[in-house]
Amino acid sequence: MAQAEAARNVLGGRLETCGTDPVTGFYRTGCCETGPDDSGAHLVCAVVTDEFLTFSKRVGNDLSTPRMGFPGLKAGDPWCVCALRWIEALQHGVAPPIVLAATHESMLQLVPIETLMHYALDREMV
């Protein structure tokens, strides 16, 4: 598992915490850190919207329904989203806003920083 202290964000700084209520991240550390066993590449710290949750459910990943200790997400919750799911949502016009400081630097291999900045809630940090 990647260590939060060593992980970097898309701005080149230390990877910040994405969310702790509910606790997010592939490793449930609150950070969008990744490692070899994270086949979904949970890199993007998204603040989910109703549109994104509906889209995600429609394409097979229901994040809004509570189950087995997971409370389900609601609009406004921060969540580490799979890189390809966020890109798919982008292509369908429902990409949720993101937090650059909490989005893993590996996302830059898939999406240009300019695109990420367009969706960033923390643009003023750049």
Per domain, the residue ranges of the chain are 1-126
pLDDT band, residue 2 (cuts 50/70/90): very low
Span 51-86, pLDDT tens digits: 999 999 999 999 999 998 889 999 999 999 999 999
Span 10-63, pLDDT tens digits: 999 999 999 999 999 999 999 999 999 999 999 999 999 999 999 999 999 999
What pLDDT sits at residue 123?
73
Burial annotation 74-92 (CB, 10 A radius, 16+ → b, else e): eeebbbbbbbebbbebbee
Question: 69 Cβ partners below 8 Å, 6+ apart?
Answer: none
Q: Which CATH number fits domain 1-126: 3.30.56.110, 3.60.21.10, 3.40.720.10, 3.10.20.30?
A: 3.30.56.110
Tokens representing residue 93 in the block: 């016009």
Q: What is the pTM of this model?
A: 0.91
